[in-house]
Amino acid sequence: MAKTPPELLERSPAGMASNHQLQRTMSLSFFSPKLSIYILAACVTLFVIFHIQSLQTPPDSSSSWYSCSLDLMRHGRRISNTTTAATTSAEEVISSPSTCNYTNELNALRDKLRQSVTFLPLKDLRYAHAALVGHTWFMSSMYDAHDEEGEVQYQRFPSPSSSGRLLCLKGRDNHDGSWNSYALAWPDALPHNVTLMTSLSFISYNHYNYDNIWHGLSAVMPFVAWHMKNSCVNPERWVLYHWGEIRSRMGVWLASLMEATFGGPPYVEVFDGVEEGSAICFEKAVVMRHNEGGMSRDQRMEVYELMRCKARAYCNVSSEELDHRRRKIGMTLLMRTGPRSFKNESAVIGIFERECAKVDGCRLMVAYSNNLTFCDQVKVMSMTDILVSPHGAQLTNLFLMDRNSSVMEFFPKGWLKLAGVGQFVFHRMASWSGMRHHGAWRDPNGELCEYSEDDRRCMSLYKNAKIGYNETYFSEWSRNILDQVKTRKMEEASKDPALTSNGCIC
Please state the closest distance from residue 353 (CB atom) to ligand NAG, in A.
12
Q: Does 403 bind ligand NAG (CB under 6 A)?
A: yes
* Residue selected from 63, 88, 344, 464 as contacting ligand NAG according to rule CB under 6 A: 344
Residue 305: count other Cβ atoms within 10 Å of its Cβ: 17
Say if strands 362-368 and 329-335 run parallel, antiparallel, or are unpaired.
parallel
CB of 479 to ligand NAG, least distance (A): 12
Q: Choose, by CB under 6 A, the member of 404, 460, 484, 487 that binds ligand NAG.
A: 404
CB of 222 or CB of 434, closer to ligand NAG: 434
Q: How far is the CB of 375 from ligand NAG (least distance, A)?
A: 5
Indicate the SS3 state at residue 434: coil
Cβ 147 to ligand NAG shortest distance, Å: 26
Strand ranges of the sheet holding 406-411, from the earlier edge strand across to the other edge: 362-368, 329-335, 386-390, 406-411, 436-442
94 is a contact residue toward ligand NAG (CB under 6 A): no
* Close Cβ partners of 210 (under 8 Å, ≥ 6 residues apart): 216, 219, 240, 242, 247, 249, 250, 251, 254
DSSP 408: E
Parallel, antiparallel, or unpaired for β 280-288 and 166-170? antiparallel
Cβ 472 to ligand NAG, closest distance in Å? 4
- The rounded distance, in Å, linking the Cα atoms of 380 and 334 is 9
Q: Contact between 193 and ligand NAG (CB under 6 A)?
A: yes
DSSP 273-321: TSPTT--EEEEEEEEE-STTTT--HHHHHHHHHHHHHHHHHHTT--HHH
Nearer to ligand NAG, 102 or 127 (CB): 102
Containing 186, the helix (H) or strand (E) segment is none
Task: Return the sign of the alpha-carbon dihedral for residues 400, 403, 405, 408.
Answer: positive
Interaction between residue 97 and ligand NAG (CB under 6 A): yes
By CB under 6 A, tell whether 368 contacts ligand NAG. Answer: yes
Counting residues that bind ligand NAG (by CB under 6 A) gives 25
Residue 472 engages ligand NAG in binding (rule: CB under 6 A): yes
Report the distance separating Cα 294 and Cα 5, nearest Å.
Answer: 51
Residue number, 192 or 297, with CB nearest to ligand NAG = 192
Interaction between residue 349 and ligand NAG (CB under 6 A): no
**Phi then psi dihedrals of residue 200, to 5 deg:** -90, 130
Does 81 bind ligand NAG (CB under 6 A)? Our answer is yes
* Three-class SS state of 208: coil
Nearest to ligand NAG of 131, 301 (CB atom): 301
**Closest C-alpha to 232, from 257, 203, 254, 263:** 263
CB 288 within 8 A of CB 203: yes
Give the integer Cα–Cα distance in Å for 503 and 411.
37
Q: Is the Cβ of residue 64 or residue 396 nearer to ligand NAG in the bound state?
A: 64
By residue count, the chain amounts to: 506
Q: For ligand NAG, which is the closer residue by CB, 370 or 464?
A: 370
Q: Which is nearer to ligand NAG, 284 or 413 (CB)?
A: 413
Contact flag: residue 470 with ligand NAG (CB under 6 A): yes
Q: Does 104 bind ligand NAG (CB under 6 A)?
A: yes
Strands (E) located in 321-427: 329-335, 362-368, 386-390, 406-411
Residue 487 binding ligand NAG, by CB under 6 A: no
Q: Between residues 157 and 469, which has the closer beta carbon with respect to ligand NAG?
A: 469
Q: How far is the CB of 168 from ligand NAG (least distance, A)?
A: 14
**Which residue, 121 or 191, has its beta carbon nearer to ligand NAG?**
191
Smallest distance, ligand NAG to C-beta of residue 382, A: 13
- Decide: is 103 part of the binding site for ligand NAG (CB under 6 A): yes
Which of 39, 375, 419, 425 is the binder for ligand NAG (CB under 6 A)?
A: 375
What residues make contact with ligand NAG under the rule CB under 6 A? 80-81, 97, 101, 103-104, 192-193, 315-316, 337, 344, 346-347, 368, 370-371, 375, 403-404, 444, 470, 472-473, 492
